[in-house]
Structure 1
Amino acid sequence: MFDKFEAFMSKYLAPLANKMDKEIHLSAIKKAMVALMPLLIIGSFCLIPEAIPNMIGENNSISQWILANLDIIYIPYNVGMALMALYATAFMAYHLANSYKLDVPGCISMAVISFLMMTVDYTKDGGIMTKYLGPKGLFAAMFAAIIAVELYRWCKKKKFTIKMPDSVPDFVSRSFEMIPISIIIIGFFLIIRIVCVNVFNIMPPLIFTSIFAPLVGSMDNPLSYTFLKMLQCLLFFFGIHPSVLSPITTPISTQFLAENIENYKAGLAMTHFFAPGPESAFGNFTGTGITFGLVFWCLLSKSKALKQIGRVALIPALFGINEPILFGAPIVLNPIFFIPYVICGGIIGTIPGWMMKFGALSCSFFTPPYVGVFLEGYLTNMDPMSIVANGIQLVLSLVVWYPFFKIYEKRYQQKENDKNNMSKEDEEILKDLDLDF
């Protein structure tokens, strides 16, 4: 049964996942989202000082200084995370241009101006509104970067450029080469802007929000999130890193985090549980599939080999890295561990999400760096209940993995004994051999 399932996954799912991982546009989105992580961390850090007066009270010098300087403290957020979509456009254009071997500065400039043409709106006094330059404009950023670079590539392929003599310096020649390309790309996005605003009476980013609304909304549903965690575990079980899904999931979780931060600053309730911090601290507690239970039981194993695997995997697991146990035990392609890893691991990983959904745990406003289990979860929301949530996950992991580990340990020891035990026929052959020197 398992062999047929493995064959099916290898034939259909693995090639699809590999194609997704190598697809140029999805790869550019994934790399851009990774590049945005410092903005998420720095932007989230700016909210920690505001939480301090709530913890230690406002009638002290530290709290008074923080409250008096919040405008300065928020500057990194306002120029970083609040302009995230603008940076994402540049990052995506950079990676796409590199993949196509195109002029990187030219592609970035065209992508950024294309994005701004779709998203910039003005206040009554002529100022620029930044509403869609942040996470709410991420889908527009993807569209602008991909289409701008593809139009750039098409213009180069069709030779819609001005070719200067070889005697002209390269930087001057590139400037003239960009003129027809710029006209085509800017004209294309200007038409999009005019049609959206004058015909549909809506800013272009809102169209993308409407299109992707079902996908975005589904990730705020604990059932959908549970399915996602099981899918991630299923991919990893067959040796496919779940990061292949990040071009789809990361923009959504990033947008949710930004909305939580805005609500936190405004004193409103934070409603989104699917965010980068909780995904790492809770969804992947001790690693994808919540594998600490297996690490723990390996440490107590009667088998020296399994005990050594547990020792090697312990420290990485405490920092959310479980590749040593995934490939050391192994969990990957091991039918004994399919249920505790894919099914139970997916469910245990979503328990804090369910708690957030029903108000038993605060939603996240911070994406901390990898600081270790329990502390990472607490830093995402400064809620002591996060430690309780991780504790529940830890206990359930120990309980779930125990019976499956005992089955595996018994088989593992049997294999070790079979290797160590010599048959009587082999012993007779050795006795007949003259091995004296």
Structure 2
Amino acid sequence: MSNNNLINKINKVAKGIGNQRHLLSLRDGMASAMPLIIIGSVFMLISQFPFEPFTLWLQRVGLQSFFNKASDSTFGIIGLVVTFSIAYNLGNYYKINKFAAGLLSLASFILLTPTLATEYGGGFPFRYMGSSGLFVGIIVSLITTEIYRWFEYKNIMIKMPDSVPPSVSKAFSAIIPGFAIISLWIFVSIILFKLDIENIHSLVQSTLGRSLGLLSNTLPGIILVILIQCFFWMFGIHGAQVTGPIIEPLLLQASDMNRVAYLAGQELPNILTYEFLYNFVFTGGAGCLFALAILLFFRSKSEENKMLGKISFPPTCFQVPESILFGYPIIMNLKVVIPFVLAPVTTAIITYYAMDLGFVAKPIGAVIPWTTPPIIAGFLATGGQISGAIIQIITITINTLIYLPFFLRDDKIKLNAEIESQLDNAEEDFSNVDLNNFTF
């Protein structure tokens, strides 16, 4: 099999995965919750700002409790948001009543979630409305939307006369599939009750969550995720979009556990979180390309690399490395596959053990925007601990050394090619000179 055929097959498989409607809906559903997560993280960082006089002032004037509540109210509903959004996006792909699919998924999620009995009446725990409810929300939204799609495609729904406004007609058309969907989840609840399973969230977490947790709860699992992402990036496929639908709900759950523990003043339970992978490991984006951007900007001798360094360094500081990915290039370039893979794997190992041994503070659960520059991101992700910035300086230095021999070889080849091109042009210009026009 030729290399081109192999590459075409890999691209076909990767695009098939990347364009799968359920994975796309899951990805878009998770993305819809990110504004809430980032907003909640900002309020959390303000309330726990690493400057004691400021936090004492917040406590004294009573603002800290409100900022903490803002953090809880945003993080605390991401399960609901993701449940609705996944169904809405999948319904959009199917060209069905996406709003009805979202509402029915949300109602089904609430139906399956255990309630709390208090002196003020019944209620729902923030825990399952938030990140701990993600797995159930994902399952419920996908199944509910598929059932709704079947009813709509089979045209089993109430039809209203043409004179009825479209909004009213759409509302009535959802009654029959909605009744079937809610009845199904009632039946599931009854079965779980008969089996003495009171909490479907705990059931799913202990089965599906534990199995998938091998990817996010262990260092070998995270390294496997890094390798998969790098593999797809080398063929021009966005690696994070391939692994994101599977790994990101797990990482966000770990981040939220750290957030709750941090606000309660308890030991942070997790090292491997959303911030660990996207802020600490992938500095400068895929392949830790911030290190290569530094070399291009400061060490280039060839004009081609000098120009690329000037163009790529500013955006790569903000985690946007596409100019290097396509301009260096990284994609489809087997000459740089070793540092492209080795840099993030080395970074993950060093950072993990530095946190595990207590040399570096763990991420506090504040999800830092992915465009935050390295070093600043490490400082913020650890709650303003200088160790978070120092470990990023160390890993960026190591990554630069990893890329250095490959960069120097590439820069030398390009420089020699430019010199040869200049000599060829000079010879050509000299050969075109008409010596008869000169008199001696």
Is TM-score (shorter-chain normalized) higher than 0.5?
A: yes
Alignment correspondent of 1:65: 60
**Cα deviations by residue, 1:373-403 (Å, 9 ceiling, x for unpaired):** 2111100112211111111112112211111
Change (3 A) 1:405 1:30: same
Cα separation, 2, equivalents of 1:310 and 1:133: 46
Cα distance in 2 for partners of 1:331, 1:124 equals 58
Give the deviation of 1:433 after TM superposition: 13
Tell me the secondary structure at the aligned position of residue 347 of structure 2: helix
Instruction: Work out whether 1:322 is the aligned partner of 2:315.
Output: no
Map residues 310-389 of structure 1 onto 2, 5 A cutoff.
310-364=309-363, 365-369=365-369, 370-381=371-382, 382-389=384-391
Give unpaired runs (5+ residues) of structure 1: none
Deviation at 1:191, TM superposition (A): 1.0
2:166 partner amino acid: D
Pairwise CA RMSD of aligned residues?
A: 2.7
Q: Which residue of 1 aligns with 2:238?
A: 241
Q: Find the counterpart in structure 1 of residue 82 from structure 2.
A: 88
User: Which residue number corresponds to residue 284 of structure 1?
Assistant: 282
Seen in structure 2, the aligned counterparts of structure 1 residues 427 and 316 have a Cα distance that, compared at 3 Å, is closer
Q: Specify the alignment match of 2:224 in structure 1.
A: 227
Alignment match of 2:154 (pick from 158, 178, 184): 158
Distance in 1 separating the partners of 2:243 and 2:32: 16
- Cα deviations by residue, 1:45-82 (Å, 9 ceiling, x for unpaired): 23224424x64259x9615426x444322232232211
Whole-angstrom CA distance in 2 between matches of 1:433 and 1:181: 91
1:146 corresponding residue in structure 2:
142
Aligned equivalent of 1:185? 181
In structure 1, the partner of 2:124 is 129
Aligned position for 2:98: 104
Native 8 Å contact 1:152 1:181 kept in 2: yes
Q: 1:395 aligns with which of 394, 397, 404?
A: 397
| Mapped partners of 1:179, 1:47: distance in 2 | 42
Which of 390, 401, 404 aligns to 2:406? It is 404
Which amino acid letter does the alignment assign opposite residue 187 of structure 1? S
Contact 1:218–1:224 (CA under 8 A) maintained in structure 2: yes
Match of 2:250 in 1: 252
Counterpart of 2:270 in structure 1 is 272
The one-character-per-residue Cα deviations of 1:164-222 (angstroms, maximum 9, x if unpaired) are 22233333333332221111110111111111233242322222212221212441212
- The residue type equivalent to 1:250 in the other structure is E
Instruction: Give the structure 1 partner of residue 165 of structure 2.
Output: 169
* Alpha-carbon contact 2:351-2:391 (below 8 Å) kept: yes
Q: Is the 8 A contact 1:282 1:350 kept in 2?
A: no
- In structure 2, relative to structure 1, the CA distance for the partners of 1:51 and 1:171 (3 Å cut) is closer
Percent identity of paired positions between Structure 1 and Structure 2: 24
Per the alignment, in what secondary structure is the counterpart of residue 127 of structure 1?
Answer: strand
TM-score, length of structure 2 as denominator length: 0.89
Contact 2:234-2:337 at 8 Å conserved across structures:
yes
Tell me how far 1:290 sits from its aligned partner: 1.5
2:19 to 22, 25, 38: 22
Deviation of 1:347 after TM superposition, in Å, equals 2.1
Give the corresponding residue for 1:202. 198
Q: Counterpart of 2:386 in structure 1: which amino acid?
A: P
- CA shift, 1:232, in A, is 1.5
Flag the 1:425–1:73 CA change in 2: closer, same or farther, 3 A: closer
Q: Relative to 1, partners in 2 of residues 1:5 and 1:139: Cα closer, same or farther, differing over 3 Å?
A: farther
Report the alpha carbon displacement of residue 348 of structure 1 after superposing the two structures with TM. 2.3
After alignment, is 225-234 or 148-157 more displaced? 225-234
**Cα distance in structure 2, aligned partners of 1:38 and 1:428:** 63
- Provide the C-alpha distance between the structure 1 equivalents of 2:277 and 2:102, rounded to a whole number of angstroms: 31
Question: What are the superposed Cα offsets for residues 340-396 of structure 1, whole Å, 9 maximum, x if unpaired?
Answer: 112233322453233223332222221223332211110011221111111111211
Match of 1:416 in 2: 418
Give the TM-score of the pair, scaled to structure 1.
0.90
**Mean Cα deviation higher: 338-347 or 111-120:** 338-347
Q: How many residue pairs get matched?
A: 429
Displacement of 1:432 after TM fit?
9.0
Distance 1:402 1:221, change over 3 A: same
Does the CA contact (< 8 Å) of 1:111 and 1:144 recur in 2?
yes
8 Å Cα contact 2:303/2:415 also seen in 1: no
1:245-290 CA-partner distances (Å, limit 9, x unpaired): 1111111111111111111122211122222323232111122211
Q: 1:405: Cα distance to partner?
A: 1.1
Return the alpha-carbon distance in structure 2 between the equivalents of residues 20 and 316 of structure 1. Answer: 28
User: 1:46 is paired with a residue of what secondary structure?
Assistant: helix
1:301-312 equivalence runs, <5 A: 301-312=300-311
Structure 1 distance, partners of 2:436, 2:142, is: 75
Letter in 1 for 2:105: A
Check 1:43–1:379 CA distance in 2 against 1; reply closer, same or farther (3 A cut).
same
- Residues 207 and 61 (structure 1 numbering): CA distance in 2 closer, same or farther, change over 3 Å? closer
Deviation at 1:135, TM superposition (A): 0.5
Q: Is this contact kept in 2: 1:222–1:357, CA < 8 A?
A: no
